[in-house]
A and B are shown apart, each in its own frame.
Chain A
């Protein structure tokens, strides 16, 4: 049974060796002419500003929690929608129960002011 995993082990070992090899070769033989542009973290991306470990306002945390709340809703809704006809009335009623609980959470967040930024 464990022999099934042999290709996986080969890939892992091979990719580690390859990664080291590529970096090492580039380091040994590549020309080194640094400029200001080249030394930036993203040479062709956004220009970074400020320190990398800035503190975030805690409000983002609430947004993240609410995002998860509705994300889970979608995760549950999608398979239900696919199997809607097969599940019939019991499936529908269970989904209603789920939505009621979800909406209670939404209502709670709303009344407690989690949706207001200021």
Chain B
């Protein structure tokens, strides 16, 4: 064990250490000064981001090949850190207003983000599982942060039970893979499969169970049933953060494991992934249609987004197409991150202390009273649909293009049709905000408003440099060992 081992995980270690320090700081703060912990946590996340940028370009493994630092990890780590930074901004005023100002929230957010980063860097299935638990357990706690509110408690319990269930699936899959290949390390699994002395039945079982475990975390249909309830019950900043970060981490881990270790079973797994992606896009978008609660609507929209993201990984075994489509998937993540935080910031600004203000009808007249927020929400919705000039458009454009390159015409067609379909419910929110009379009041809190404007601005402005971003995403993937 040398210092360079620790260098491999340095961004995650910074966040973990800072999270622990935050817990201690919180203990000695008087109750009326709790507001300082989000600020300190924000500094921690920014420090992590700095370390991550400093380490971008390094490519090495650590701890006997159990974790890896490469361009791919640096890229997803950047997204995860930006996401947690945004979530801390979002929770700063919200937590105080809702009277749930507990500093555990920010500390847990940092620790959980560290878990996600380790998961992305994991090169061993046991480390993957450990990291999954490290980010999941704080999430269960954070969904139940509003103690005494039934829906929040329900969210925490539901998430905990189903999360434990999915972890069991994943672990069972790892056990089967170990039985088939005698390795948990990805490099070992690869050499065992190439060596040929592998029991195919166990290998397939392991791969399938691994996929199920991660699909639960991703909320892919048919493993999505927990998502709407959890997203509705959890505090809004936590929901926004969860819907972005967990998807990024789980997808990145899925990608790393499957592309590195299991290209040999791509012929069997790709159709399954294709059907899952198609189902997720269809079910997510259709069920979003009938929602009247904005949080549930965004929950179903995030399920649909998981479907689009999954689409990028269907041709993962096809060499040249795979790297293109995965770059497209990473690109879609950028657009999804900014659009989501713009939308969730507006939701947090409009939500009232008593839990009201979450119906779509409550957004009537927002455009007149708070034009900035309404425009931010509109940009987010338009980006979700995939209309130019937003990042969402380019994301879907690249995704569908690579799906066609991979010969998946039917999948691209389903994606296109469901996107058209989704325009109805996304635009309904815009219509309510801009065309219906009403007196919607929103909070004039600095951080939330700033976040809405910054994310919406990024969704719009970054859409003018899509090639540079795509280059970034594809070089990130090319440096994959």
Residues of A within 8 A of B (CB): 90, 94, 100-101, 104, 107-108, 111-112
Contacts and interface: CB of A to CB of B under 8 A. Distances in A.
A107 B24 contact: yes
B23 interface: yes
Contacts of A111: 27
Contacts of B27: 107-108, 111-112
A90 B23 CA distance: 26
A101 B24 contact: no
B190 interface: no
Interface string B17-28: 000100110010
A108 to B, nearest CB: 6
B1 interface: yes
Interface of B: 1, 20, 23-24, 27
Contacts of B24: 104, 107-108
Nearest to A104: B20
Contacts of B23: 104, 108
Given A104-B23, A108-B24, 11 more contacts: A90-B1, A94-B1, A100-B20, A101-B20, A104-B20, A104-B24, A107-B24, A107-B27, A108-B23, A111-B27, A112-B27
A112 B26 CA distance: 11
Contacts of A100: 20
A107 B24 CA distance: 8
14 contacts: A90-B1, A94-B1, A100-B20, A101-B20, A104-B20, A104-B23, A104-B24, A107-B24, A107-B27, A108-B23, A108-B24, A108-B27, A111-B27, A112-B27
A11 B27 CA distance: 56
Nearest to A101: B20
A111 B24 CA distance: 10
Contacts of A112: 27
Contacts of A90: 1
A111 B23 CA distance: 11
A109 B24 CA distance: 11
B271 to A, nearest CB: 31
B416 to A, nearest CB: 50
